[in-house]
Amino acid sequence: MTTRRPFALALSLCLAATPGLARDMVTYTTDQSFDDVTFGLENAILDEGLVIDHVSHTGEMLERTRADVGSDVVIFDEADVYSFCSAKLSREVMEADWQNLMFCPYTIFVAVRHDTPDETIIGFRSYPEGEMQKIEALLDGIVKAAIGAE
């Protein structure tokens, strides 16, 4: 278990459809730094006995390629997406319905939007009712542990 200094959390839970997207997502917003949140996330994933498969540095890619694609818009100051899986829970949800394969690996994103540099957002996509709610509960627990909101 990691020890963290106390934080004043500017915490908000948004479970809503993102305008323009068909997907729902769960997000938490905090005044903690991007580095503190990603450190907390890495520890929370490992504390669950899971292995981080990959970290996509999406924010860096978007900034690096911004001029190449003809844009002058800065979307994120920082944005990473963490991918991982749970052998136990994945087996359970896929034994219930093999099509749940489409949701694996599971991902959690951390981002600082350019227009709100004092807020770090951490979240994940919502999952369908039924067996996949086990995965949503896992991800929600990991996210809350990452920002000290458990």
Domain that holds residue 96: 24-146
For residue 23, the model assigns a pLDDT of 59
Q: Is residue 109 part of a domain?
A: yes
Indicate the Cα dihedral angle 129, 97, 108, 147, nearest 10°.
60
Q: What confidence score (pLDDT) does residue 150 get? A: 73
Q: What is the distance between the alpha carbons of residues 89 and 80, in angstroms, rounded to a whole number?
A: 24
Domain-embedded: residue 76: yes
The SS3 assignment for 56 reads strand
Q: What is the pTM of this model?
A: 0.84
Q: How far is residue 45's CA from residue 5's CA, in Å, rounded to a whole number?
A: 19
Biggest CA-to-CA distance, the chain: 47
Does residue 45 lie within any of the structural domains?
yes
The answer to whether residue 18 sits within a structural domain is no
pLDDT in the model for residue 6: 38
Quick check: helix, strand or coil at residue 39? helix
Q: Quick check: is 140 in a domain?
A: yes
Q: Which residue has tokens 């990603």?
A: 38
Q: In the Cβ-directed half-sphere of 22, how many Cα atoms lie within 13 Å?
A: 1
7 occurs within a structural domain:
no
* Res 2 pLDDT > 50: no
The mean per-residue pLDDT over the stretch 87-104 comes to 96
Q: What is the pLDDT of residues 6-15, one digit of tens each?
A: 333 433 433 3
Q: Is 14 a member of any domain?
A: no
Q: Tell which residue, 122, 35, 29, 113, has the closest CA to residue 74.
A: 113
pLDDT at 18: 38
* CATH number reported for the structural domain that contains residue 131 in this entry: 3.30.310.70
pLDDT attached to residue 4: 38
Total domains present in the chain? 1
Q: Please state, as a whole number, how many other Cβ atoms lie within 10 Å of the Cβ of residue 82.
A: 23
Structural domain includes residue 107? yes
Q: What is the pLDDT of residue 137?
A: 97
Indicate whether 115 pLDDT > 60. Answer: yes
- The model's pLDDT over 28-80, given as tens digits with 9 standing for 90+, comes to 999 999 999 999 999 999 999 999 999 999 999 999 999 999 999 999 999 99
Residue 130 per-residue DSSP state? S
Give the chain's mean pLDDT. 88
